[in-house]
């Protein structure tokens, strides 16, 4: 999806230029080197940028050695996927303002970069703040930085995004 196609799509979703300008999240380009990142928690195939996948494979193995079975909930998501997700929520009756509290404006999600991972471990609900109480979360807090994965949206972050203890992004 190129820039003008995206702009047209954003208008269609009721996302105005002012809303895009007010968005504190940077624009994220889709990577050219997407590769298979294995099967996620739900049995779906996931993809990551090659650099992030290499780091993820190493981090996953290291966590496993320490007794933590960490699963992917979501990795790469295309800009088009993000548009469709928002369309669906609009069709279900949510307003665009409500939706944008938990979903980034298409083009501005770290998941477009192929470097972001939503992770899960334990018996709790995926993508829930309770993940911060899981031993795997403590492991990630201690160790993810060694693999260049960082928590993007800590509590009270400057991006206006809810606290997401499950969302980790590779930064080299």
Shortest distance (Å) from residue 110 CB to Zn ion: 7
Choice from 6, 77, 86, 118 touching Zn ion (CB under 5 A): 118
Residue 68 near residue 141, CB atoms below 8 Å = no
Q: Which stretch binds Zn ion (CB under 5 A): 88-96, 99-107, 116-124, 153-161?
A: 116-124
* Count, residues near Zn ion per rule CB under 5 A: 2
User: DSSP strand E in the chain: where?
Assistant: 34-39, 45-49, 71-74, 116-120, 149-151, 167-170
Q: Name the closest residue to Zn ion (Cβ).
A: 167
Residue 27 near residue 6, CB atoms below 8 Å = no
Find, among 118, 38, 120, 12, the residue nearest to 75 by Cα.
Answer: 118
Shortest distance (Å) from residue 17 CB to Zn ion: 25
- Closest to Zn ion by CB, 17 vs 125, is 125
Shortest distance (Å) from residue 75 CB to Zn ion: 9
In terms of C-beta density within 10 A (0-12 exposed, 13-18 middle, 19 or more buried), how is residue 17 classed?
exposed
Find, among 71, 88, 62, the residue nearest to 127 by Cα.
Answer: 71
Shortest distance (Å) from residue 111 CB to Zn ion: 6
Q: Which stretch binds Zn ion (CB under 5 A): 23-31, 37-45, 137-145, 161-169?
A: 161-169
Q: Which two tokens stand for residue 155?
A: 């509590």
Choice from 113, 167, 169, 170 touching Zn ion (CB under 5 A): 167
Q: Which two tokens stand for residue 61?
A: 């193995």
Tell me if 40 contacts Zn ion by CB under 5 A.
no
Half-sphere exposure of 144 (CA within 13 A, CB side): 23
Q: Which stretch binds Zn ion (CB under 5 A): 28-36, 39-47, 99-107, 111-119?
A: 111-119
Residues that bind Zn ion (CB under 5 A): 118, 167
């Amino acid at each position: 999806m190129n820039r003008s196609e995206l702009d047209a799509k954003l208008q269609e979703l009721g996302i105005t230029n002012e809303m895009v300008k007010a968005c504190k999240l940077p624009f994220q380009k889709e990577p050219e080197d997407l590769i298979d990142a294995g099967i996620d928690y739900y049995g779906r195939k996931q993809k990551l940028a090659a650099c992030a996948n290499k780091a993820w494979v190493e981090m996953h193995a290291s966590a496993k050695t320490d007794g933590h079975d960490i699963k992917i909930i979501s990795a790469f998501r295309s800009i088009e996927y993000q548009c469709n997700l928002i369309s669906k929520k609009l069709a279900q009756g949510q307003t665009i303002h409500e939706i944008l509290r938990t979903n980034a404006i298409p083009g501005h999600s770290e998941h477009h970069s192929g470097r972001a991972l939503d992770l899960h471990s334990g018996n709790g609900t995926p993508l829930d703040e309770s993940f911060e109480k899981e031993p795997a979360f403590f492991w990630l807090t201690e160790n993810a930085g060694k693999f260049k994965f960082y928590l993007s949206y800590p509590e009270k972050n400057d991006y206006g995004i809810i606290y997401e203890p499950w969302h980790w992004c590779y930064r080299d």
